[in-house]
């Protein structure tokens, strides 16, 4: 039943957990990454070990030509697309204030986190929309609790990029609702992945989890479960929803 799923940024973290769970649920998987080919191949190997097909494709979602190449590889090697998960995102160094930001760095962040998700959605719609001869499908965008909180003194520009993902989810869901495509988002809170070390805060989970009502960080697998539920026929009347996966953080 499942189909073909593209998960951007799935060589590690939430994307990798989603790829592995998707394989167990019967999807053939395109594992996308930007730098770590070995990690992406390892995830693809886990998909194959679960009995499904997998390809690992290097492509920067901040680059339109690379996104087009990614989707053409899926057409060629896996076939008709069923689900897109817009998961890849960059955060950058933590504890930056707006008066220190340069336009070039902000534009690079928005290119990956916002334009990349929109262009990936375009490629998915061209393949899935009944208006374009497709058979329908689902898009799940990965937002962040920071879109509600704003992340002052940490990464306001990243939070704003996730605010854009929330608005994009609401608008696109309505735009393609009559064309067989559902569009939803998950909004993770603090999730225990490598992203925190990459921002220069390797101890962030240990420091911040006591402030969470559930008193713990989430696991990548818990976000993956929500992503794949939204993608599945079990959520057939759910579109335009933004699901908080954040341990009761408000």
Q: Among 2, 4, 8, 57, indicate the residue that binds ligand NAP (CB under 6 A).
A: 8
Q: Among 3, 15, 134, 137, indicate the residue that binds ligand NAP (CB under 6 A).
A: 15
E-only strand ranges, the chain: 3-7, 27-33, 54-58, 83-86, 137-142, 181-188, 242-245
Cα–Cα distances (Å) from 101 to 10, 117, 242, in that order, read 28, 23, 29
Report the nearest approach of ligand NAP to the CB of residue 159 (Å).
10
Tell me which long-range contacts 150-154 makes (C-beta under 8 A, separation of at least 24): 153/95, 153/97, 154/94, 154/95, 154/96
- Structure-token pair, residue 198: 């990459």
Report the nearest approach of ligand NAP to the CB of residue 195 (Å).
3
In the stretch 155-194, what mask flags binding to ligand NAP with x, by CB under 6 A?
---------------------------------x-xx-xx
E-only strand ranges, 9-133: 27-33, 54-58, 83-86
Task: Give 114 or 181: the residue with its C-beta nearer to ligand NAP.
Answer: 114
Cα–Cα distances (Å) from 240 to 14, 117, 151, 181, in that order, read 21, 16, 24, 11
In the stretch 89-128, what mask flags binding to ligand NAP with x, by CB under 6 A?
xx---------------------x----------------
Instruction: Identify any residues that bridge with 83 across adjacent strands, giving them in sequence order.
Output: 5, 138
Q: Is 237 one of the annotated active-site residues of the chain?
A: no
In the stretch 61-90, what mask flags binding to ligand NAP with x, by CB under 6 A?
xx------------------------xxxx
Which residues in this chain contact ligand NAP in the complex, by CB under 6 A?
A: 8-15, 32-36, 39, 60-62, 87-90, 112, 142, 144, 188, 190-191, 193-195, 198
- Report the catalytic residues: 158
């Amino acid at each position: 039943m499942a189909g073909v799923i593209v998960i951007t940024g799935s060589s590690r973290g939430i994307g990798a957990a989603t790829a592995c769970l998707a394989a167990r649920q019967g999807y053939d998987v395109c594992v996308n990454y930007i730098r770590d080919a070995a990690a992406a191949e390892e995830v693809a190997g886990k998909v194959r070990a679960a009995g499904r097909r997998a390809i690992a494709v290097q492509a920067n979602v901040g680059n339109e030509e690379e996104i087009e190449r990614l989707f053409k590889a899926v057409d060629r090697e896996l076939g008709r697309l069923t689900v897109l998960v817009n998961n890849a995102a960059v955060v950058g160094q933590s504890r930056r204030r707006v008066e220190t930001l340069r336009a070039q760095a902000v534009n690079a962040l928005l290119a990956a986190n916002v334009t990349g998700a929109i262009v990936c959605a375009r490629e998915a719609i061209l393949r899935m929309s009944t208006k374009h001869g497709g058979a329908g499908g689902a898009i799940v965008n990965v937002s962040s609790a920071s879109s509600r909180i704003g992340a002052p003194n940490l990464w306001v520009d990243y939070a704003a990029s996730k605010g854009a993902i929330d608005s994009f989810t609401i608008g696109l869901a309505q735009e393609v609702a009559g064309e067989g495509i559902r569009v939803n988002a998950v909004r993770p809170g603090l999730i225990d992945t490598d992203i925190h070390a990459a921002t220069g805060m390797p101890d962030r989970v240990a420091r911040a989890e006591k402030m969470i009502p559930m008193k713990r960080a989430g696991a990548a697998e818990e976000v993956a479960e929500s992503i794949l539920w939204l993608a599945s026929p079990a959520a057939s009347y759910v579109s335009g929803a933004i699901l908080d996966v954040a341990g009761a953080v408000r």
